[in-house]
């Protein structure tokens, strides 16, 4: 069992327990926050949008930022000009959770992505109840009929579905489903090798008119320029920003390039 399979297995057990503690019918949509249309619109409002990530740790990288203050990180991202934020919800492997998500939601007005390993419809209701604007759906962990059903549930809840793909087969499914928002993960799930070439290769198979987000391995302004020139509408970046002591300068340098004297 690889790490993704282990995370998903643990997530199914976690959500089964949470559904008993908090039935889906008790989860009411939060009002007054950006919705799915706002999420996509924000990403496309600039030449290349930034989804800046709030993440404490990961299985491969360990602790990423200490001390970790989700609300302060979110305020800096907003001040730096990010179009949207991605907030990790998984606690066991990524140090996220409902409390960090709520603290970010109360700190900023930006559209938020519920970054989670979604395996159950309950999680989509949960995302809406927390004031999310979008929810991550990972093609590698969902069957095609599940992906289709979860996309419909997200749409009905007013959420954008960011469908994440890792290879050509997953992109074909996303294209067949006419996904309006697709994330291309540049990290190979089998060997964890990361390359931006994954984005350029898979983007050729994307459905017309969709919003493409490049994820993982984006570290420099040069990367941003390459992706923008390649027709990518947005990037999702976390670790390379969060490891920098001056987060504001890190975001500015990544998206606008080195400061000119």
Catalytic residue list contains 55 = yes
Catalytic residue among 35, 86, 103, 185: 185
Catalytic residue list contains 2 = no
Catalytic residue list contains 92 = no
Catalytic residue list contains 53 = yes
Cis amide bond preceding 24, omega within 30: no
Catalytic residue among 53, 78, 116, 239: 53
What is the C-alpha separation between 213 and 202, in angstroms, rounded? 11
Catalytic residue list contains 216 = yes
Q: Cα 95 to the chain's mean position, in Å? A: 15
With beta carbons less than 8 A apart as the criterion, state whether 144 and 168 touch.
no
Catalytic residue among 11, 86, 115, 116: 115
How many H-runs (helices) and E-runs (strands) does the chain carry? 11, 10
Catalytic residue list contains 185 = yes
With beta carbons less than 8 A apart as the criterion, state whether 238 and 65 touch.
no
Provide the token pair at 209.
Answer: 């008119």
Q: Which of 152, 155, 174 has its CA nearest to residue 163?
A: 174
Cα-only R_g, the chain: 17
Catalytic residue list contains 178 = no
Catalytic residue among 164, 170, 203, 239: 164
Catalytic residue among 78, 116, 170, 215: 215
Provide the token pair at 236.
Answer: 């999702």
Catalytic residue among 11, 35, 55, 214: 55
What is the C-alpha separation between 191 and 114, in angstroms, rounded? 26
Catalytic residues: 53, 55, 115, 164, 185, 215-216
């Amino acid at each position: 069992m690889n790490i993704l399979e282990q995370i998903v297995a643990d997530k199914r057990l976690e959500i089964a327990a949470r559904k008993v503690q908090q039935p889906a019918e008790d989860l009411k949509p939060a009002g007054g926050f950006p919705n799915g249309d706002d999420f996509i619109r924000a990403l496309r409002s600039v030449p290349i949008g930034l989804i800046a990530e709030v993440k404490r740790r990961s299985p491969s990288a360990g602790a990423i930022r200490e001390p970790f203050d989700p609300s302060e990180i979110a305020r800096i991202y907003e001040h730096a000009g990010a179009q949207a934020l991605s907030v990790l919800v998984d606690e066991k492997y990524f140090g996220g959770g409902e409390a960090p998500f709520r603290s970010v939601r109360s700190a900023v007005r930006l559209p938020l992505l519920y970054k989670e390993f979604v395996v159950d419809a309950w999680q989509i209701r949960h995302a809406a109840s927390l004031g999310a604007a979008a929810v991550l759906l990972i093609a590698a962990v969902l069957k095609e009929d599940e992906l289709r059903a979860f996309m419909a549930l997200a749409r009905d809840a007013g959420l954008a579905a960011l469908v994440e793909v890792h290879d050509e087969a997953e992109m074909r499914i996303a294209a067949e489903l006419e996904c309006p928002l697709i994330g291309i993960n540049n990290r190979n799930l089998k060997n964890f090798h990361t390359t931006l070439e994954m984005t350029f290769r898979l983007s050729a198979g994307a459905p017309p008119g969709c919003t493409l987000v490049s994820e993982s391995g984006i570290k420099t302004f040069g990367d941003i320029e390459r992706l923008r020139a390649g027709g990518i509408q947005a990037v999702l970046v976390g670790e390379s920003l969060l490891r920098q002591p001056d987060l504001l300068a890190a975001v500015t340098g990544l998206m606008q390039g080195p400061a000119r004297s």
